[in-house]
Amino acid sequence: DVKVTQSSRYLVKRTGEKVFLECVQDMDHENMFWYRQDPGLGLRLIYFSYDVKMKEKGDIPEGYSVSREKKERFSLILESASTNQTSMYLCASGGLAEIHGFFGPGTRLTVL
Amino acid sequence: SQKIEQNSEALNIQEGKTATLTCNYTNYSPAYLQWYRQDPGRGPVFLLLIRENEKEKRKERLKVTFDTTLKQSLFHITASQPADSATYLCALDGSSNTGKLIFGQGTTLQVKP
């Protein structure tokens, strides 16, 4: 059974902290994505990666960075967390053959 | 500007009826369109994909249509059940060959027994 896992389901951080969200997929997918989901705004793409060490900005990259050192792992980094980054963060992966997304369970991040 | 829109109002229907959800888009030329189901507090789960050269796709009680002239997709659930209650998202490819998806905001379906 295919799987995308995220490091935490719930996370509470303080303003100014550095936050790492990790995502791992076991499907050998080339593409990986980070979205955030907010009420009324839907899913918005933050960053995506189509290969190891490659990354592309999505629609809302400001305040975020990413790292993809290994094919199966895609990390989202909040360099200095702010309250407006409180959100549900969803990771997804997709292959060249399977163009639909496989999503992780999400991390609900609260920044106080 | 580019937009993908779903009816933001919740859809309430009686068990056994057919639910029809709409997805409209502007200023995109997608090669395919996808539908996902999302339950509260969970990640979206893929349901169906329809390509630009396909008019209709079916999977069990689900049916999707794709009209590239109207720039619209319709998602139907026949013989709906309370277990079908969820938010349904449509998504289209934002750029070729990257798998990048652009999502609508979703429509919440409530099926009453």
**pLDDT score for B27:** 87
Place of tokens 């998806």: B101
Residue listed under structure tokens 């319709």: B74
Nearest residue of B to residue A105, measured between CA atoms: B43
Greatest CA span in chain B, whole angstroms? 43
Instruction: Tell me: pLDDT of A35 over 80.
Output: yes
Contacts of A36 in chain B (CB under 8 A): none
* pLDDT tens digits along B83-94: 999 999 999 887
CA–CA separation, A28 and B63 (whole Å): 30
CB-CB contact of B30 with B92 (8 Å) = yes
Q: Do B49 and A100 touch (CB under 8 A)?
A: yes
Percentage, residues of chain A above pLDDT 90: 78
Output Rg (C-alpha) for chain A, integer angstroms: 13
Contact A31 B99 (CB under 8 A): yes
Beta bridge partners of B49: B34
Q: At residue A89, does pLDDT exceed 80?
A: yes
Q: What is the DSSP secondary structure assignment for residue B84, as one 8-state letter?
A: G
**Ranges of residues in chain B whose predicted pLDDT is under 70:** 95-99
Beta bridge partners of B21: B75
